[in-house]
Amino acid sequence: MKKTIVGKSVRIGAVVAIFASGWFCGAVSQRSAEAQLGDVGKAVMEKAGEQGGSLGAAAKLGTSISDIQTHLDALQKDVDTLNSIKAMLGG
């Protein structure tokens, strides 16, 4: 009886340790998918958008959001430039 309790405890402890180490490694090394895919990811999203259905709608939404983010980044750069010019002019 004591042997079976110890054996089950060791198995449960091993499962918990494996889960915890996998979770920790995943949390430490998590990377952005956008950074990994780049232009390839955009091409895949556009191809999926052509298929239609819920997958196509989600792909079009994802592509639209990334395009909007690109435009917003460019606009923010322009605003920063205008602010620096304004500061140089004394305004």
Task: Return d(Cα 84, Cα 77) in angstroms, integer.
Answer: 11
Q: What is the pLDDT of residues 38-90, one digit of tens each?
A: 666 667 766 766 777 777 777 778 778 888 888 999 999 999 999 999 899 98
Considering the domain architecture, whether residues 19 and 44 belong to the same structural domain is answered as no
- Counting the structural domains of the chain, the total is 2
- Please give the average per-residue pLDDT across 29-34, as a whole number: 62
Q: Which domain holds residue 7?
A: 1-30
Which residue stretches of 1-91 are H helix?
A: 2-28, 33-37, 39-49, 53-88
Considering the domain architecture, whether residues 43 and 23 belong to the same structural domain is answered as no
**Residue closest to 63 by CA, chosen among 4, 71, 19, 75:** 71
* pLDDT value, residue 33: 56
State CA 16 to chain mean position distance.
27
